[in-house]
Amino acid sequence: MEAQYPLQSPSPYPWKLTRGATVQPDGSVSFSVWAPQVSTLSVLLPDRAVPLQRTDESLYTGIVSDLAVGAPYSYLLDGSRARPDPVSRYQPHGVHGPSAVVDPAAFPWTDHHWRGLPLQDLVLYELHVGTFTAEGSFRAIIPYLDYLKEELGVTAIELMPIAAFPGARNWGYDGVHPYAPQSSYGGPAELQSLVDACHEKGLAVALDVVYNHLGPEGNYLREYGPYFTSRYHTTWGDALNFDGEQSHQVRRYVIDNALYWITEYHIDILRLDAIHSIFDNSPTHLLQELTAAVHAQSHALGRTVLVIAESDLNDNRVITPSEQGGWGLDAQWSDDFHHALHVLMTGERTGYYQDFGRPSDLVTALTEGFVYQGQYAPYRGRPHGTPSRQLPSERFVVCSQNHDQIGNRANGERLSALVPSSALKLVAGLLLCAPTLPLLFMGEEYGERAPFQYFTSHTDPALAQAVSEGRRREFSHAVGNQAVPDPQAEETFLRSKLQHSLREHAPHGALLRFYHDVLALRKHVPALRAGGKEYMKVQTWADSRVLLIHRAHPQGEAIVVLASIAATPLVATVTFPTGQWQKVMDADEAWYGGTGSGLLPAVLKETVSHRLVLAPFQWALYVAS
C-alpha cells in the first residue's frame, strides 16, 4: 500500500486538519466526512439540514456560510440517523450528543519561544486529569506546575487519555471521539491553556493516545465506514482496519489525529497505548508511517515532537531506525524494569510476575533494557522478546509504578501500601539513577495513600452492569470475601483522588525531599542523565543482594550508587572502582525519614575492599572526588 505521508523528506508546509468542521478565513465552515457506508449525508443544524455532496472517494463535503463558532451540529445519515462527527473537535453534551464547531486559531498562544525537549532530558510525570485535583479539570492542574517543576523536578507531564468518553469518570481508554477533549475536564480551550502554561514553565506535555481500539459506548464509526475488521481480535473486540479494503482512510484517520494533537494543541510527546494490539501487515507499518508523519510535521513546526510506544512485546523493531529496518519510534516503555523491581520489593509472584524474581533480572534491566530477549518465559509458555543490548538506553521508558500496575490490581493499591518507606526510597533511587527515561505516577513522590482504582461512568445500563460484573469475576480469586470496588460507583472514583496535603506532613515530606534531591543531582551531574549505557557497570555482592552501579561520563565526574535489596540489615564486603568517593546522598539520613544511623562512611577509597553495614533497603550515592 502506498504511504499517505512522507517517509523521508518533510512537507514544506505544516499539515492542517481538513476533515470534520473547519472554520475558514472568511468565517464560513467547511465540512468533510468519509462515509462509504451511507447513501446520503447532511449537516443537521438546529434550524435546518444542509445536504453534503458525495465525491468519488466517498467523501461528503460542503460549506455553510452562516454558522457561528460553538454552534452544535450532527450528521444526518441516510435521512434517518443523527450522529456526531467522527472528527468532532468537541462534544460538549457527551459522546451521544451533537458536535460543536471549534476554531483552533482562536486561542491566544504565548508559547512561541517553546521548542520542546530532547529525548534525553525527559523525566515524565503521568497523571489522570480527573483525580489529580479535587476539581478534576485541565485548568485545575495549572496551579501545581510550579510544584512539579521546582519542588519535584520533573520535565514533562503525561496526561492519561483525554478523548471524549461516556459520562464524567473514566481512565480514558474508553474514548470514542479521538479528536474531542473530554468535556468534563474543561474541553478544548482549557486543554490549550494547560499546554500553554506548561510551556511557560519549561515543562513538556505528553498525551496518551489510543489507536488500538475505541470504547464500546458512543462508538458510531461503523455506521460511517469499514473502520474495524474481524480478521484480528483484540481484548476489546474487532481490531481497527489498518491493512484491509479502504484501510487507507482509516490510517489517515489515525495519522491525522496524531498530527492534530501536536499542531492544534502544541503537544510535545505522543504516548501510543498498547501497540501490541495494533495489527497491520502492510508493507509500511502504520506506526512507521505515523512516526514519519509526526517527525515531518515537527520539522515544519520548528519543534521537537517525540513518539513513544507502550508495548509488551519486547520488540526492538519499534525503536530501531527506519533506515535499519525498524519503525523509527523515539522510545518505548519497558515493563521488565518494573516487574523485576516489584517482585524483589514485594515478593509477589502471581501472573506475569512469575517470570521475574532474580536479582540478575534487575541488573539486566538496568544495563540492557529488556530482561526477556528471546529466552523462555514461564508465564507466557514460550520464548519472549528480542535483543536490546545494542539499543541506546534513553530509548526505554521505565517506572516503578504507573496507572496499569496500580489500577489493574483488585483494589488499586499503590506501592506505598505494599512496602516500607525505606523500600520506596530505594525504588526511587534505582529508577532515577538508571540510564533510562524515568516515569513517575502522580503522588508516588510523596507516598500517596489513596489507591488508584478502575472507574467508569457508562450511561448504558446493560454495559454498566457488564463492566461491574466483569471486574468482580476477574478478581474473585484474588480478594476472597472482600468486595471488589465497583467501577461504576462514584465512590471508587472519589477514593482515587490525590491528597496533596499529605506532602506537608511526615513521612511524606521526607520522601518528597528524597525525590527532589535525586532529580536535582540527575539534572546537574552528567553521569546521572539518560544514556551512557556504554559507560555503566553493575556489580553485585552478598548473594546479589547488594548492587554497586558505576556510571561515568566523558565530560563529568563518575558516580556510584550503592543499594541493598534486602529487607533486613546485612554486612557486605564491597570493592569500589578506582578513585576516591564522596558520599552526597544517603537514604537512611534523618532528613529523608531514615534512622540517621550514619552506617555508611562519608568517604570511600579506591580499590579497597570495604566491610560495610547496610540498613534495610539501603541506598546511597557517591561521587568521584
* Residues forming the active site: 273, 310
Burial degree of 449 (CB within 10 A; 0-12, 13-18, 19+): middle
CA distance 352 to 405: 11
DSSP 8-state class, residue 580: -
CA distance 128 to 159: 6
DSSP 8-state class, residue 5: S
Which among 129, 136, 126, 197 is positioned nearest to 163, based on CA atoms? 129
- State the DSSP H helix or E strand holding residue 22, giving kind and residue range, or none if neither: strand 20-23
Query: Tell me, what amino acid is at 214?
Result: L
CA distance 500 to 519: 20
Residue 357 in grid coordinates:
524474581
CA 297 to chain centre: 21
b/e 123-145 (16+ beta carbons within 10 angstroms → b)? bbbbbbbbbbbeebbbbbbbebb
- Residue 419 burial (CB count, 10 A): 18
- Residue 441 burial (CB count, 10 A): 26
Beta strands in 281-410 (DSSP E): 306-309, 331-333, 376-377, 382-383, 396-399
Provide the 3-class DSSP secondary structure of residue 224: helix
Residue 208 in grid coordinates:
496518551
CA distance 84 to 20: 10
Residue 126 in grid coordinates:
503521568
Tell me the residue length of the chain: 625
Residue 94 in grid coordinates:
457527551
Phi, psi at 468, each rounded to 5°:
-65, -45
CA torsion through residues 424, 426, 432, 436, sign: negative
**Is residue 36 reached through a cis peptide bond, with omega within 30 degrees of 0 on the bond before it?**
no
Answer for the pair 415, 102: CB distance below 8 angstroms, yes or no. Answer: no
Answer for the pair 558, 551: CB distance below 8 angstroms, yes or no. Answer: yes
Residue 138 in grid coordinates:
485541565
